[in-house]
Chain A
Amino acid sequence: MRLEVKKTYKLFIGGKFPRSESGRIYKVNNHKGEFLANVAKASRKDVRDSVVVARSAQSGWASATPYNRGQVLYRIAEMLEGRREQFVAEIRELTGKSEKQANQEVDSAIDSWVWHAGWTDKIDAVAGNMNPVAGPFFNISTNQPTGVVAAFAPQDSSLVGLVNTIAPAIVSGNSIIAITSETLPICAVTLAEVLETSDLPGGVVNILTGNASELGSWLASHMDVNAIDLEGTSNAAELEMLAAENLKRVIRKGGYSRTGAKGSLQHILDLMETKTVWHPKGH
């Protein structure tokens, strides 16, 4: 009998798969409570390294054309579809869902990437406008990504919740540090492998497995993070207080559903800034 080769579950930072700088791991069990894997337990240093690479990757991603970003997001859907069997198996093992239920979750995750991919070049068409000011000026409002987003994926979802946390941030050109569900991190690591093979520039998405309560305060108080999504946190009020120090944009817990095949335009816009440009008209 051939012995199976098992995967080492690591972090995803700057397009690479490092172990936690701290060397820490934690045990993840399957739905029956049996040992499944040792998963990297991200530390404060991993958080800080992620913010540095997320910042350096952000402007390049934001200046890619919307058509290009749309194709990259669509490519993610393609790669995810190709790995369907693996995700279904992982979801079933982790959560005990039936094959049908697991397939439905993967369907939603893939379709959500497709839904978001189509938004890249339409956001300003519906959420930006010319402003008819009372004077001889050309005046236009458009939207641009807010910058570096820190996000806590829902704790009760292994795949679709994470997808619906990452996609609304990166669709517009933000970069993100996503903290996975602590108990359901296996699909997150596999999703990182999907992202790594989807022409997404390294550092745009960084995925950290570990304990949200421990990592939360480092991200919420980090002065080079522009926005924070508190969905998967258990101490949201405390983190919102820390986030106020540099006036981070805050997505409160429960603000948006993370389970569906469609996201929310408002969720995308919450992670964007309206910019208004004036220029005189004349000869």
Chain B
Amino acid sequence: MFDYSPAPESKDLVKFQASYGHFIGGKFTKPANTFSTINPATEQVLAEISHGTAKDVDSAVKAARTAYEKTWSKLDGATRGKYLYRIARIIQERSRELAVAETLNNGKPIKETRDVDIPLVASWFFYYAGWADKLDYAGLGANPKAHGVVSQIVPWNFPLMMLAWKIAPALAAGNTVVLKPAETTPLTALLFAEICQQAELPDGVVNIVTGFGDTGAMMVGHPDVNKIAFTGSTDVGRIIAKQIAGTDKKATLELGGKAANIVFEDAALDQAVEGIVNGIFFNQGHVCCAGSRLLVQESVQDVVIKKLKARMENIRLGDPMDKNTDIGAINSKEQLTKIDRLVKQGIKEGGQAWAPSCAIPKNGFWYAPTIITGVSPANTVVREEIFGPVLSVMTFRTPAEAVAKANNSQYGLSAGVWTEKGSRILKMADQLNAGVVWANTFNQFDPASPFGGFKESGYGREGGRHGLLSYLKGSN
């Protein structure tokens, strides 16, 4: 085991304002009804954020409607695309700043924001920029139409990345948007508002309203909104689906998951162990598609668990700004409490929890990477989404049993399969009820690749041609 010297990224790469208003019609409003947003790794306040009211939501929707009717729907696709290319380029230019801002506000390691989040944000805009003048080829026939004004609500686990997944296809298809970042991670969305200004995006095409769930509910309920796009919990997804019942509003819902990561005895076990670690400990396990249920073939259970534990002893938990950190801070006290409660429930139901010996920092919110063995499909930690660095381990004997256990879930977002046998991969991929199947890899994302779930993981897709269709309708 090597000793690492501290290698912190510089906090000075980003300067936050003391307080922020909403971004409506191309301008920031005066901050009002403010709440503090913190760095979850230190609990230090980063800025004061405005809690959006019905009036704020209404003026944002009005600005979006005006922009849609007067400007954005009148522009040709090529011009809309050029604005998106500009945004992609500015994101690349400001990528270090954005990575630092995201890490400070979210708590995730700088190596992830630097190497995963922000590059994907830029690529998402670059990808959908190219679609803007090719909508006739999207699959809905000639002259497909935008929905109009879209309310978009994004979570705290990948704040700017989720914003990009929402805004880039919506704008390419010709919609205008009102977006609300999560209450704990609003800062990169507000920096994005500045980027829209730098790109000279027409006023009102993108509006950012900050706040809590009540603000989001008003965005869903507003009568002049045509489409809802939400990423978050299944419980809130249900509320939104009920809220829009009987209306003409369309919805894309990206909700929870409880992915099975299935390791067969003939898998390349060292690679599989890397995949298990990446699957559940990436982003502190704050990933809806996290591989949170390990299904390992009985014959290799002991060796896989042994290798996994050895690998986990080398995971570095600590300062998210340190370039060597693997696991950063849990995003909020509330989330930490939830993880802790669910793991305790798992132990109460007979599970054995194990975590490597790692020092937990004094301030901030932290949870050591944990595996729970001795659990069955009926256990709480196997059924419920923990949304933290906690892996439940079960075994299977036959492929049919692996499929049955994997599909025994209210969710169906993603799944992993590890085997060297090609025909088995293809058969498993056919049988798994999941929107994304990663075979001999895990947690891969790309703007060209559709993402989204079956069953209670929601409906609609983001990414690729399918993701574009979420923001279009046929012209007849």
Residues of A within 8 A of B (CB): 63, 126-127, 129, 131-135, 137, 139, 141, 144, 146, 226, 236-238, 240-241, 243-247, 249, 266, 273-280
Contacts and interface: CB of A to CB of B under 8 A. Distances in A.
Contact of A141 (B140, B237, B242, B464): B464
Contacts of B327: none
B410 A246 contact: yes
Contacts of A139: 446, 448-449
Q: Classify the interface of chain A: helix, strand, loop or mixed.
A: mixed
Contacts of B140: 266
A273 B454 contact: yes
A79 B474 CA distance: 34
B253 A247 contact: yes
Interface stretch (B69-77, B341-349, B432-440): B432-440
Interface in B214-272: 234, 237-238, 241-242, 245-246, 253, 255
B139 A126 contact: yes
B197 interface: no
Given A141-B464, A274-B466, A244 B451 contact: no
Interface stretch (B26-34, B85-93, B277-285, B455-463): B455-463
Contacts of B430: 63, 144
Contacts of A241: 242, 245-246
- Leading 3 A-B pairs by shortest Cβ distance: A237-B246, A244-B241, A240-B245
B455 A279 contact: no
- Sorting the interface of chain B by its residue count into under 10, 10 to 19, 20 to 34 or 35 or more gives 35 or more
Contact of A279 (B242, B253, B440): B440
B305 interface: no
A134 B447 CA distance: 9
Contact of A276 (B246, B433, B436, B456): B436
Contacts of A275: 429, 434-437
Contacts of A236: 246
Nearest to A279: B439
B374 interface: no
B436 A278 contact: yes
B202 interface: no
B458 A137 contact: no
B441 A276 contact: no
Nearest to B241: A244
A134 B452 contact: no
Contacts of B451: 276
B6 to A, nearest CB: 31
13 contacts: A131-B464, A132-B448, A135-B444, A141-B450, A141-B466, A238-B245, A240-B241, A247-B237, A266-B140, A276-B450, A278-B438, A279-B440, A279-B441
B410 A274 contact: no
B450 A274 contact: yes
Interface in B284-341: none
Contacts of B245: 237-238, 240-241, 243-244
B425 interface: yes
B151 interface: no
Interface in B136-153: 139-140
A246 B256 CA distance: 12
Contacts of A240: 241, 245-246
Contacts of B123: 134
Contacts of A243: 241, 245
A137 B437 CA distance: 13
A146 B410 contact: no
Nearest to B407: A59
Contacts of B242: 241, 244
B141 to A, nearest CB: 10
Interface hub of B123, B433, B441, B446 (most chain A Cβ within 10 A): B446
Contact of A278 (B139, B433, B439): B439
A266 B436 CA distance: 21
A246 B449 contact: no
A245 B235 CA distance: 9
